[in-house]
Amino acid sequence: MFDLTGKHAVVTGGGSGIGLATATRLRRAGASVAIVDREDASAAASRIGAGAHRADVSDAAALTAAVDAAAAAAGPIDILVNNAGVAVEDALEEVDDEQMLRAFGVNALGVLHGMQAVVAHMPAGGTIVNTASLAGLTGFPGYAAYCASKAAVVALTRVAALEYGPRGIRVNCLCPGSVDTPMLASQPSGEIEALLVATAAPLGRIVRPEEVAALIHFLAADDCPVLSGLAVPVDGGIAAGTSVALIEAVAAHAISA
């Protein structure tokens, strides 16, 4: 079940966090994997038996060259995971063009570049999984550029599902909430965000990278080959509504005030 033996996968942003967890899981499921990262990910790739290519996904030519090299090394690409991303925090009134362009350059254009680069190497039956965000489905104060760029990923996924479907290629995206990754830890508000999730999520905890990788594995496998155009929340239940814990916390505060 969910066997990927004989499949060839490319994972962008695969050097750490969700990307590395995904590359590791796909390898364990039998796929050959090529990691693409803007940093040197050769050591991490070597540990899991994957290949490594260096490219900034916001640079279309560089990413295309990396995808071409991955295909030349291991053959047609059956699975593309567009996971590379960047967090940009700023209030709507303070966001400037440079911040917005940085968010869109990596988060949205990176996904576009990846899909454009891979289709020449992807046979019918191939699958593309894009990492969007819960922030692409709903707004969060202080994340104007990030929310906008991740909403673009959801839209690009739906258009790609329509255009690539006739080629036999499925395209889906996942929308994680806060995930316990190095990127979250490096954010100015990362610690506060992690604590908030413990209250806002009905399951009462933050999501782990390996759990996001599990959904990517499911979407990449052939066992349910009719799923395409989806934007799936991976958030501990936050998208379902207001958690009991959050209601109780607000009520306790109101009583004590």
Per residue in 20-68, pLDDT tens? 999 999 999 999 999 999 999 999 999 999 999 999 999 999 999 999 9
Q: Phi and psi at residue 131, in whole multiples of 5°?
A: -90, 105
What domains are there in the chain, each with its CATH number? 8-189+206-240 (3.40.50.720)
The 3-class SS string of 150-176 reads: HHHHHHHHHHHHHHHHHHCCEEEEEEE
Which pLDDT score is estimated for 185?
74
Which residues does the annotation mark as catalytic?
Answer: 146
Which pLDDT score is estimated for 197?
82
Work out whether the CA dihedral 217, 84, 210, 76 comes out positive or negative: positive
Which pLDDT score is estimated for 24?
98
Q: Phi and psi at residue 173, in whole multiples of 5°?
A: -135, 155
| Predicted TM-score (pTM) of this structure | 0.93
Residue 7 near residue 15 (C-beta atoms within 8 A): no
Q: Which residues have a Cβ under 8 Å from the Cβ of 220 and sit 6 or more positions away?
A: 4, 7, 9, 26, 79, 81, 127, 129
Encode the chain (257 residues) as per-residue pLDDT tens digits: 899 999 999 999 999 999 999 999 999 999 999 999 999 999 999 999 999 999 999 999 999 999 999 999 999 999 999 999 998 888 899 999 999 999 999 999 999 999 999 999 999 999 999 999 999 999 988 999 999 999 999 999 999 999 999 999 999 999 998 888 777 777 777 777 777 888 889 998 889 999 999 999 999 999 999 999 999 999 999 999 989 998 898 898 888 87
CB atoms within 10 A of CB 206: 21
Residue 166 near residue 228 (C-beta atoms within 8 A): no
